[in-house]
Amino acid sequence: MRPTTINRRFAAIATLLLALMLSACGSESEQQAQQQGGGQQEKPPRPAQVMTVELRDLQLDKSYPALLRSEQQVTVVARVSGVLQERHYEEGEQVEEGELLFTIEQAQYEAAVRQQRADLQSARAELNQAQRNFDRYQRLYQQNSVSQQQLDEARASQETAQAAVAQAQAALDQAQLDLDYTTVVAPVTGQISLSEVDTGNYVQAQQTLATITPLQIIEARFSLPEDDAVALRYQRRQPDAPEVSAWLHAPTLAPSLPSLADQGIRGSIDYLGASVDTSTSTVQAEAVFDNTDQLFLPGQFVRVALEGLQRFQVLAVPEVAVTEGLKGPQVYVLDDDDTVTSRFVDLGEQAGDWQIVTDNLEPGERVVVTAIGSLSPGDKVDPQPFDGDPEVLQEEEAQTTGGGTAQATGGNAGVQESQADGASGEGAVNEDTAQASSTQNGQG
């Protein structure tokens, strides 16, 4: 009977150990269930800045490629033919308006002036003779000493002599002009080019001699897209709208002259076309700049920036509030319960840190502008007032992203710690089981 008693004791101990193990497993399962139940509880609202969408006026930063030209660039040509006797300037220097540039041989033109002057004197003498004859015939006609026909012939001779004087005077004026054209002067003030003809060569009338380029005033011609041209025309007609000015940048200066990379000059728009080019859908425009330092040259390709160009009464949100969804750009809109909903929107132009929205957003709606990366549709938000500075939002968003990473790291550490505790618990149960087995063997 002893073996039976031992077996009964062993069975009782085994049953007790199994009950203890089942109780421990049940407690662990219940604890995990409680933890899971707690994780499924609704998350507390996350604080985030929220702005109410409203119509506003925004200034745009617009720039366009342009070609520079001089305001009064002229080509100096010979007005008469002859030998080019002398050049009176240094090539490439600054010349003033009226300054003597070239001299063409004058002898033949001086002779022509003397000849025409003599012809004029002869014509005046004939006019005096014809005038005296006409006066004489008038007196004789009053005395009935000559006929009406003779008086008319005297009048005709007098008038013909007057015309001859006028003709001789015109010929003298033309001869004097030709003589004056032998001295070529600068029509404008500017920098003169290399001479096209060397002295001693024979030049023809209308032959190019040099080019003068004024650099004090420079023009930039560029093309505006149709929408920008219409907006600019509208803005210039508004009495209270800011004036649109032009800023001239020359990026081509930067590689060779780093110190001039930020150089630019301010000007004004003096021309805006009245028609749209049907082939390019653009409108011609021109801006004028005071090029005092003469850093910009005609023929140079530059960019012209328009400052003060506005868009009136548009809907806009901070740029950081717009994210890219599966179907395109989207923003997070709050409903009446402060719950996040995703809204796909159509975007327009960008004005600094503001993004213009053209469709699918209405005035009065609330848009989340911070903590975008940590929110999902359906989350609750604790709305905070928007401070109105979009530039600060980018810094805050970066800091928030960094904080979220740190929190995630801390969460992983907690999970690892829990797993370590679980491993310790399993080791303790195994140790208890080993002790019980040792006791059984001892009793046996």
pLDDT digits (tens, 9 = 90+) for 390-415: 666 655 655 555 544 444 344 443 33
pLDDT digits (tens, 9 = 90+) for 69-96: 998 899 999 999 999 999 999 999 999 9
Angle 428-434-437 (CA atoms, 0-180°, nearest 5)? 145
Which of 78-82, 186-190, 200-204, 289-293 is predicted with the least confidence, judged by mean pLDDT? Answer: 289-293
Our separate counts of H helices and E strands in the chain read 5, 24
Give the per-residue pLDDT at 426.
Answer: 41
Q: How many whole angstroms separate alpha carbon 90 and alpha carbon 95?
A: 9
Q: Which residue has the tokens 């150089």?
A: 263
How many beta carbons lie within 10 A of that of residue 270, not counting itself?
A: 11
Second-level CATH architecture of 62-70+214-308 = Beta Barrel (2.40)
Q: How many whole angstroms separate alpha carbon 214 and alpha carbon 96?
A: 10
Q: How many whole angstroms separate alpha carbon 211 and alpha carbon 87?
A: 14
- State phi, psi for 184 to the nearest 5 degrees: -90, 125
CB 291 within 8 A of CB 246: no
How many beta carbons lie within 10 A of that of residue 6, not counting itself?
A: 13
In 182-247, where does DSSP find H-type helix? 226-236
For residue 134, pLDDT over 90 is answered with: yes
Percent of the chain topping pLDDT 70: 75
In 143-194, where does DSSP find H-type helix? 148-181
Radius of gyration of the chain (CA): 49
390-443 vs 2-39: helix crossing angle, rounded to 10: 170
Which residues have CB under 8 Å from 404's CB, separation 6+? 373, 374
pLDDT digits (tens, 9 = 90+) for 219-261: 999 999 998 999 899 998 888 888 899 998 765 555 555 555 5
Q: Which of 94, 95, 101, 99 is nearest to 78 (CA)?
A: 101
* Range 106-181 has CATH code 3.90.870.10: no
For residue 444, pLDDT over 60 is answered with: no
CB 371 within 8 A of CB 46: yes
Segment 256-278 shows an average pLDDT of: 79
Q: Token pair for residue 372?
A: 């975008």
Give the per-residue pLDDT at 26.
Answer: 52
Domains of the chain, residue spans: 43-60+313-422, 62-70+214-308, 106-181
Second-level CATH architecture of 43-60+313-422 = Beta Barrel (2.40)
Q: Which of 35, 66, 24 is nearest to 265 (CA)?
A: 66
